[in-house]
Structure 1
Amino acid sequence: MKRRAPWLGLVLGMILVQGVVYQQFLSITENGLRVIFEKGMMRELLLICVVVFFLFTVRGLMAYLVPRVSVWVSNSAIFEIRRDLTTHMMGLDLAYFERTKSGEIIQRLVSQTQALGHFIGLATANAVRDLVTLVIISGYLIWKNPLLFTAAILVLPFIIWVMNFVAAKVKRVQGEAETALGQYMSGIEETVTGMRTVKIASQEDMEIARLEKETARLRDLSLRVQRTQALVVPSVDLSSAFVYVLVIGGGGYMVLNPHFDIDGAGIITFLLGMVLVSDPARMLAQYLGIVQTHLVLLDRVRGLYFETPTIVDAPEALTEFDTGGDIVLDRVRFSYSPDQPLFDGLTMTFRGGQVSAIVGATGSGKTTILSLLSRLYDVQDGQITIGGTPIDRLRVRTLRSAFSVVAQDIVIFNSSIWDNIRYVNPDATDAQIWTAAENAEIAELIRARGDTPVGPKGAQLSGGQKQRIAIARAFLVNAPILLLDEATSALDQGTEARIKSALTRLTKGRTTIVVAHRLSSIADADTIFVLEAGQLVEQGGHAELLAKSGYYAQLYQAQKQGDSDG
């Protein structure tokens, strides 16, 4: 908003014009009443009517321009808030997104920024208009009759007390309401995302009941907020009624008493001024009543800025390194929670240009190693080097650009297959995309589907087709280090066999690290690392590990028995 100071100054100027118009209206009205009651001159009365009409024409023009400019300013501010929030959010660590519900993030970027922008722009401009009107007319009334005005504002301490009471209560309840809304939005997203499971398990009634419970909580909290805010207007109205009675009674006494220099026209004008003040006062009171609500929203939105990334470029970070060198984990220590270390002194070496595989039971740390290599997380002790260069000495973007990833959980957008492949390299030429598609054996499907969207999260594609999109992306990126994270674990053996030829072409000439559950798929790996509970228990070739009759041999035999039983 600071960058828009000239426009805000223009809005303030137009608001001042509105306030002056009201003050001039009161002054001219008083003169008009005296013309009617005392002079009886038609010409002066007609002139007063023309001036009054002109004044309200000016006020009408200002009433049109103020919200137009205010809305433009607020919408521009909303755009910049969302842009800055998105930019900041994209720089946060993966850990933030794993501990924060997506509904809370969506709420901050959508509804809370919208409400803040409207409040700061239009609502605040209206409040400033009401305040200016209140000050100018009150100043005029004080100048006309300070004694009567002083008596009329005796009720002000009561109004202030009501405002403080309402503000404190609204802030507390609004905080609860915003938390409940975030949970409700997260609940909706979870239900929609897991709709396949909901349908198969016939749990529609349970989901309805769960969301209805959250909705009921939102309703109750909203009613509490509105019930508290509803105290403001009647309190101000009752105070205004007291003021009117005081002005009529006290003013009438002054007119009847010869010791006071005031006539009937002055009292009527004073009463009209109080009427003109009451509406801005009521609107200003409502504004002050919702200030606390929007301060809560402001805290929630600013809370995203309080999140700071820990994975950042080191001073004088390097932009070049030996991408074909060995990848070494040297006495690495890492844990997701302080009391449960996953790795404690893990040492591994992935040879450059070779295919290495990581196997082990669920939770042994296989995927975590890939996350550490690409600095989605940082090690807590020890170090990781590529070609002898510590990865924390590299620019994060430089490091990650050296990796291509094919994972089991593939992000597919609701656009064409062509656009989904191009996503990882928007500057790629059509020839490069076709080459990647041919290598991934998905070119024929592109020709068959054309520009047809694949549905939300690729709902119209099979698991094998999604995998081939991921492989085509890896071909298009053409990075020197390839990470395969359970890339074929969700596929049947027939589909896996068709995709394996594409993966063979993809791994050629690259340093490849494969995380695999199906041990038969990594039998050709140069080196296999076997993890158990975060510790490296075995390593070697497939035949070598089988000959040892150790943990790997047990896993292999168990899977082989399971496949034969199936």
Structure 2
Amino acid sequence: MTHAPKTKRAPLYTERDRENLRWLWTRYLRQKAPWLLLVLGMILVQGLVYQQFLSMTESGLRVIFDSGSVGDLVMVCIVVFVLFAVRGLMSYLVPRITVWVSNDAVFQMRRDLIAHMMALDLAYFERTKSGEIIQRLVTQTQALGVFVGQGVANAVRDAVTVIIVSGYLIWKNPILFSTAVVVLPFIIWIMNFVSDRVKITQGEAETAMGEYMNGIEETVHGMRTVKIASQEGVETHRLMKGTSAIRDLMNRVQITQALVMPSIDLSSAFVYVLVIGGGGYMVLSPDFDMDGAGIITFLLGMVMVFDPARLLAMFFGSLQSNMVLLDRIRRLHDVVPSITDKEGAVAEFDTGGDIVLEDVHFAYSADQPLFHGLDMTFRGGQVSAIVGSTGSGKTTILSLLTRLYDTQGGRITIGGQPIDQLTVSALRGAYSVVAQDIVIFNNSIWENIRYVRPEASDEEVWQSAEDAEIADLIRARGAAPVGPKGAQLSGGQKQRIAIARAFLTNAPILLLDEATSALDQATEARIKSALDRLTRGKTTIVVAHRLSSIADADRIFVLESGQLVEEGRHADLLRQNRLYAQLYQAQKQGYDKK
């Protein structure tokens, strides 16, 4: 009979854990080293207070049992009070300093993570759930900060107390202390057992929490669809399923951690029995220099050792959980952006030159290539339009032009200059974009327009609003916020905000991605003259679904499944009676039926 090989147990602290701790120390804590040394000094004072308390307790007991001097007893009481007053002061100052250090470390960590996140490629955000990002920036960094500021400081205090008090007890009676520590190997085994399981389960819990937060965000943002489709029950069930998973995982973590305290309590009881029995024998036997005051003090010292030892054991359990949090945070920081300024990148280029795609290859995934040798030329100062069915690659071309993605073969040039040899800020600063996916903030319409140029004057903002036919709505709404993601605005109002932003930016290259798709024909006709003014003298690339809106374009490119199948002016393409003509006639018949 064959037996399955045993799974090799992972080390308690992996090399990755040690790297993460070094990263946390060198990046966020080492600069606070003088303050941390001060904290360590105060913690040592706290430990010494306990040692002196034991010494004074033994002296006080001997005063009571032997000399009976009231004056000596009063003096002992005064000294004990002073000792604990000092410890109380240290107990106030230590958390004050450590919380300040940890909160500042969390602030710097979030600052760095936000800056790093802003530099990441669009592809990262398209493959990463927003709930996971929010979890790392908010809950995980805060939990880690609390652990560093309070958990670690308390653990160091407890460790110092155990070491100092144990040293004193060893000095007082090494034989009795040696008898008391026989349970130490058992406690270490318990901690390894618990820590190993806590680390695994905590990782699963953090993943489940990220999924849960993402589910909440999806439900809240899609509440309009949920209500219309009467799917409140489905969403409730979905969220409750996530809630149940988190509950079960956290139960596993806490049940495992709950093994620690009763194990240590039983160990403590065993130790106290040994100390009472062994110490009592030493008091009764004439062979040992031990009296009643000594045994009582030794027992009190063991209490002082085992109480912080219990807390220290709990710390090592929570340490594994926080190692998981630290690793999740570090992994976000370790993501390397691929869209960056290359060495020698320049900021100056001919923004009015031709935009040329030469033998461009691109795929979102290796098994589904989109462009395979695409060639296109957008003439400088002219209006070019890109049309085609859904999924043909229209919007992807705009993403490649702005380096939201890099080509995987071939090159793109502006005025003969490859765009990957330009600084990203200079390249993107040359574009005004009116996208199909419009980002609207929960602020006034005025501030939403001004977002693209915070330094713009009031006159410039008003002129942009007038040009985009949205000034009257600004006057009507005033400074009222528009709701999360512009929930209080219609699709057409949102697109007019985007058009107003393009007027305000006034960049030399204009990209219009379905810029009028949410406008009715009457509104589109009203702002057509404004769009004509906006495109005048600029290189304009229009992605359009409504073909009637691009009939005046200087050149129209027709895409199908990532391939350029036609190009020319509107009238020429109609005469050719191919794909463009078919799309145009199908749309015209659809409008005629309305």
Contact 2:443 2:480 in 1 (8 A): yes
2:352 pairs, out of 324, 334, 339, with 324
Distance 1:76 1:249 in 2: 51
Q: Contact (CA 8 Å) 1:482, 1:511: kept in 2 or not?
A: yes
The equivalent of 2:266 in structure 1 is: 238
Match of 1:337 among 340, 349, 365: 365
Report the equivalent of 2:199: 171
Q: What are the residue-to-residue correspondences of 1:275-424 with 2, within 5 Å?
A: 275-424=303-452
> C-alpha distance in 2, partners of 1:13/1:503?
70
Secondary structure of the residue aligned to 2:336 is coil
Residue in structure 1 matched with residue 242 of structure 2 by the alignment: 214
Q: Tell me, what secondary structure is at the counterpart of 1:129?
A: helix
Structure 1 partner of 2:300: 272
Q: 1:160 aligns with which of 175, 178, 188?
A: 188
Amino acid aligned to 1:213: K
Q: CA deviation at 1:418?
A: 1.1
Measured in 1, the distance between the counterparts of 2:276 and 2:32 equals 45
User: Is the partner of 2:244 in helix, strand or coil?
Assistant: helix
Instruction: Answer yes or no: is the 8 Å Cα contact 2:467–2:527 preserved in 1.
Output: no
Does the 8 Å contact 1:421/1:470 carry over to 2? yes
Query: Are 2:438 and 2:498, in contact at CA under 8 Å, matched by a contact in 1?
Result: yes
Cα distance in 1 for residues equivalent to 2:464 and 2:316: 60
1:101 maps to 2:129: yes
* Matching of residue 257 in structure 1 with residue 285 in structure 2: yes
CA contact (8 A) 1:471 1:502 kept: no
Aligned to 2:81: 53
C-alpha contact (below 8 Å) 1:408/1:485 kept by paired residues? yes
**What is the aligned-residue identity percentage?**
74
- Equivalent residue runs for 1:1-150 within 5 Å: 1-150=29-178
Residue type matched to 2:292 in 1?
A: G
Counterpart AA for 1:383: R
What corresponds to 1:181 in structure 2? 209
State the 1:247 CA deviation: 0.5
d(CA) in 2 for partners of 1:302, 1:481: 39
Deviations, residues 106-160 of structure 1 (Å, cap 9, x unaligned)? 0000000000001111110001000000100000001111111111000000000
Aligned pair 1:488/2:511, yes or no? no
Instruction: Find the partner of 1:464 among 492, 499, 503.
Output: 492
Q: What is the distance in 2 between the residues matched to 1:462 and 1:335?
A: 34
| More off after superposition, 439-448 vs 355-364 | 439-448
One-letter identity of the residue aligned with 2:256: T
- More displaced, 8-17 or 181-190? 8-17
Q: In structure 2, which of residues 523, 548, 559 is the aligned counterpart of residue 531 of structure 1?
A: 559
Q: In 2, distance between residues paired with 1:500 and 1:161?
A: 77
Deviation per residue, 1:196-232 (Å, 9 max, x gap): 1111111111000110111011111111111001011
Q: Whole-Å Cα distance in 2 between the matches of residues 79 and 458 of structure 1?
A: 30
Which of 411, 426, 436 aligns to 2:454? It is 426
Deviates more, 1:211-220 or 1:67-76: 67-76
Q: CA deviation at 1:305?
A: 1.3
User: RMSD between aligned alpha carbons?
Assistant: 0.9
Q: Which residue of 2 aligns with 1:437?
A: 465
Q: Distance in 1 between matches of 2:53 and 2:73?
A: 14
Q: Structure 1, residues 337-383: CA drift from partner, whole Å, max 9, x if none?
A: 11211000000000000000000000000000000000000001100
Residue 132 of structure 2 contacts residue 214 of structure 2 at CA under 8 Å; is this kept in 1? yes
Q: Check conservation: 1:357, 1:528, Cα contact below 8 A.
A: yes
Distance 1:560 1:321 in 2: 42
Matched, 1:548 2:583: no
Deviation, structure 1 residue 6? 1.1
Contact 1:104–1:183 (Cα < 8 Å) also in 2: yes
Report how far residue 276 of structure 1 moved: 1.0
State the shift of 1:491 in Å: 2.5
- Paired with 1:501 and 1:126, the residues of 2 have a C-alpha distance of 70
| Deviation (angstroms), 1:409 | 1.6
Residue 385 of structure 2 aligns to a residue whose secondary structure is strand
Of 425-434 and 134-143, more deviation after overlay is shown by 425-434
Structure 2 portions without partners, runs of 5+: 1-28
> Could you list the per-position Cα deviations for residues 40-68 of structure 1 after superposition, in whole angstroms to 9, with x for gaps in the alignment?
11111100000000001111111111111
CA–CA distance in 1 between the matches of 2:512 and 2:275? 83
Counterpart contact for 2:208–2:242, Cα < 8 Å? yes
Q: Measure the CA separation in 2 of the matches of 1:73 and 1:40.
A: 50
Q: CA deviation at 1:440?
A: 1.5
Question: Alpha-carbon deviation of 1:492?
Answer: 2.2
Q: Which amino acid aligns with 2:341?
A: D
After TM superposition, the score normalised by the length of structure 1 is 0.99
Q: Report the secondary structure of 2:432's partner residue.
A: strand
Whole-angstrom CA distance in 1 between matches of 2:225 and 2:530: 31
Q: Distance in 2 between matches of 1:254 and 1:475?
A: 93
In structure 1, the gaps of 5 or more residues are: none
Deviation of 1:261 (Å): 1.3
Deviation at 1:565, TM superposition (A): 2.5
The residue aligned with 2:587 is 559
The amino acid that maps onto 2:138 is: V
SS of aligned partner of 1:344: strand
Q: Is the Cα contact below 8 Å between 2:495 and 2:518 reproduced in 1? A: no
User: SS in structure 1 opposite 2:454?
Assistant: coil
Cα distance, 1:462 vs. partner? 1.8
Higher mean Cα deviation, 540-549 or 256-265?
Answer: 256-265
- The CA deviation at 1:495 is 2.4
Question: Partner residue of 1:448?
Answer: 476
Contact 1:464-1:499 at 8 Å conserved across structures: no
Judge conservation of contact 2:358–2:373 (CA < 8 Å) in 1. Answer: yes
Alpha-carbon distance in structure 1 between the residues aligned to 2:275 and 2:306: 13
1:224 matched to 2:252? The reply is: yes
> Helix, strand or coil for the counterpart of 2:515?
coil
Letter in 1 for 2:139: S
SS of the residue 1:531 aligns to: strand
